[in-house]
Structure 1
Amino acid sequence: MKIKVFQKGFNYSQDGRGNRLILHLQGCNMHCPWCSNPEGMSPEGALFVEKEWLKESCCPKGAVKEESLDRSVCKDCRERSCIQGRQKGIRLSYQEFEVRDLIRECEGCRPMFFDGGGVTLTGGEITMQFAAVKELLAGLKEAGIHTAIESNGTHPHMEEYLPLVDEWIMDIKHMDAKKHKEWLGVSNVHTIENIRMAAEKHPDVLLRIPLIPGFNDSKEDAEAFTEFFKGCAAGRSNVRVEILIYHEFGKGKWEQCGYTYTMKLGRISPETQQYFEKRFREEGIQVVRT
């Protein structure tokens, strides 16, 4: 079975415990306007442009002019000869691997998995490649490698991953189903169900809220999150909650993918983060910063 990966690299403690190999998997069912990895959103991948290497010779059909890519030409192109070679100006966002080869590569990284580290699967959204991810996780577990996943939790059959995952990381972006769908394109119903399921059945759960200005950063939002976490995280030693602060680090990549970044300038103040964390702690919810 094959799996699409758009980025690989090591990270310490931010995407799971210890030093980890992070595999970013292609494709997402949400359309978060703040996404820091827009090249991973489309299941078909994105044509990613690096302007410093972009030459007219990159495209035999003349789509490159004046150091710019005319993507209307790309839309009707079937050959995609621009991404067949090794030139850097235009590339497809992902590479495709056989799952067995990826497992073998991960096994070769064992010396780097210190302080309880291992492999984290993130995205995009990992459940867009559900069967391949299940095969990969099973192979990693069989090899004795610590596994972690990061997911938006929208897949209805995520419980199938439970025995294959050592650290379960999941986002919850908004408690209001209507606003969630308006902004992100999908409902939060399965996310809420899967969070409750994981909190009840998994020994190591990290729940994350990406705090976004104008979307979920009000005191009313804080109360809604607090009420939800009271029922699934309060008093549980196996469940931690973390606030992730909005940033614009991925803004430049939207342009490189030919996308429009629509988020308005804004920031989350330290006081807002502290308010959310304080409300959670007041209700016996374990709060962390990784």
Structure 2
Amino acid sequence: MQEAPARSVRTFNVQKYNMYDGPGVRSMAFFKGCPLRCKWCSNPESQHRGFEIMLKRDACVSCGACAAACPVGVHRMVDGAHVVDRGVSCIGCGACEKACLYGAVQVMGEDRSIDELVAFFDEDADFYRMSGGGITLSGGEALSQPQGAKSLLAASRERGYHTAVETCGYLPTETLLDIAPYVDLFLYDIKLMDPVRHKYWCGVNNELILENVRTLLEQGYNVRVRMPLLRGVNDSETDIKAVIEFFSPYRYQKNFDGVDLLPYHKLGVGKYAQLDLAYEIEGDPSLSDADLDRVAGWIKGADFTVNLVRH
């Protein structure tokens, strides 16, 4: 029995005028939930599907307004101090956020209908047409909500919009192939080729990830590989040559769209404290311009198209 189309998805952000995640000017929907736990993740608020509270402690005055407003006890006052009880499931009602006069509390997660998101995309339809752009689903992991992603992609396709999905590729192959006909371009993350190191840095083995990208390429779906780069993690010649070797059979296929290199940045580090999470990356694994040129040179030398993406 075929599963009914989803009417909504859980997101944590929507964005306009993006120029980095697919061709042209794009609008984006960021889905909540991800099966990976990359230690450098810049959107930790995207990892869990459930609603979450982000607390800016430097803005909080411990007035207790959020605790009084919360119907389930996520917010508590302990010895005059504001505490977020992470053991209590937030229901996403937003009462605490409305009660806070200082902008210290933010509820992460919002259930948006497919119609609402399509209407959001429609606002910039002229920009897509003028620039060759479209819409991109990201996250988290958009395909962790497969029926919602499929419904939104299908509705966008009906509007004539170019569709892209940024994905880690960690989902059942059958599910991926069910969604693939609605995707014009997969922006496919490849972090590490070594399965043991991939599990250490990203929380899961990469066997399924590599199987899925191979399947997409062999079945004619458009794929652009995206590689986040961190010094000492995946920037060695051995790491890069393993990527080159894996994708070499596909580099001249029309549906292989080259490689994007995504330099490490610290834009999401401050979010961890707001979620009471530890940031596990020690030091600064940023690559210098010379390092980036070195990595790009190895890939270009193997006759791949390479694009350095700087957000």
Q: Considering only aligned residues, what root-mean-square deviation do their CA atoms show, in Å?
A: 2.4
Contact 1:39–1:93 (Cα < 8 Å) also in 2: yes
1:9-24 alignment, distance < 5 Å? 9-24=15-30
Return the offset for 1:4: 0.6
What is the DSSP-based 3-state SS (H/G/I as helix, E as strand, rest coil) of the residue aligned with 1:174? coil
For 1:285 and 1:93, locate their aligned partners in 2 and report how far apart those are by CA, in whole Å.
39
Match of residue 199 from structure 1: 217
For 1:77 and 1:68, locate their aligned partners in 2 and report how far apart those are by CA, in whole Å.
20
Contact 1:177–1:188 (Cα < 8 Å) also in 2: yes
Deviations 1:51-84 (A, max 9, x none): 465342122266357996423x352467777646
Contact 1:59–1:82 (Cα < 8 Å) also in 2: no
Aligned with residue 59 of structure 1, among 49, 67, 79:
67
Match of residue 4 from structure 2: none
Amino acid at match of 1:58: C
For 1:288 and 1:117, locate their aligned partners in 2 and report how far apart those are by CA, in whole Å.
17
Structure 1 unmatched runs, 5+: none
What is the DSSP-based 3-state SS (H/G/I as helix, E as strand, rest coil) of the residue aligned with 2:131? coil
What is the DSSP-based 3-state SS (H/G/I as helix, E as strand, rest coil) of the residue aligned with 1:158? helix
For 2:14 and 2:137, locate their aligned partners in 1 and report how far apart those are by CA, in whole Å.
10
Aligned with residue 133 of structure 1, among 143, 149, 152:
149
Structure 2 unmatched runs, 5+: 1-6
Contact 1:6–1:25 (Cα < 8 Å) also in 2: yes
Aligned with residue 4 of structure 1, among 3, 7, 10:
10
Q: TM-score if structure 1 supplies the norm length? A: 0.90
Match of residue 90 from structure 1: 105
Contact 1:36–1:251 (Cα < 8 Å) also in 2: yes
1:83-232 alignment, distance < 5 Å? 83=95, 86=98, 87=100, 88-113=103-128, 114-156=130-172, 157-202=175-220, 204-232=222-250
Match of residue 287 from structure 2: 268
Relative to structure 1, the CA distance from residue 81 to residue 153 in structure 2 (aligned partners, 3 Å threshold; closer, same or farther) is closer
For 1:104 and 1:66, locate their aligned partners in 2 and report how far apart those are by CA, in whole Å.
47
For 1:22 and 1:185, locate their aligned partners in 2 and report how far apart those are by CA, in whole Å.
26
For 1:170 and 1:23, locate their aligned partners in 2 and report how far apart those are by CA, in whole Å.
17
What is the DSSP-based 3-state SS (H/G/I as helix, E as strand, rest coil) of the residue aligned with 1:258? coil
For 2:289 and 2:306, locate their aligned partners in 1 and report how far apart those are by CA, in whole Å.
15
1:236 aligns with 2:242: no
What is the DSSP-based 3-state SS (H/G/I as helix, E as strand, rest coil) of the residue aligned with 2:180? helix
- Equivalenced residues, count: 288
For 1:174 and 1:230, locate their aligned partners in 2 and report how far apart those are by CA, in whole Å.
16
Contact 2:96–2:105 (Cα < 8 Å) also in 1: no
Amino acid at match of 1:282: G
Amino acid at match of 2:76: A
Q: TM-score if structure 2 supplies the norm length? A: 0.84
Amino acid at match of 1:138: A
Amino acid at match of 2:124: C
What is the DSSP-based 3-state SS (H/G/I as helix, E as strand, rest coil) of the residue aligned with 1:63? strand
Match of residue 281 from structure 1: 300
Return the offset for 1:199: 2.4
Contact 1:149–1:167 (Cα < 8 Å) also in 2: yes
Aligned with residue 28 of structure 1, among 34, 55, 60:
34
Q: Percent identity?
A: 28
Return the offset for 1:195: 1.6
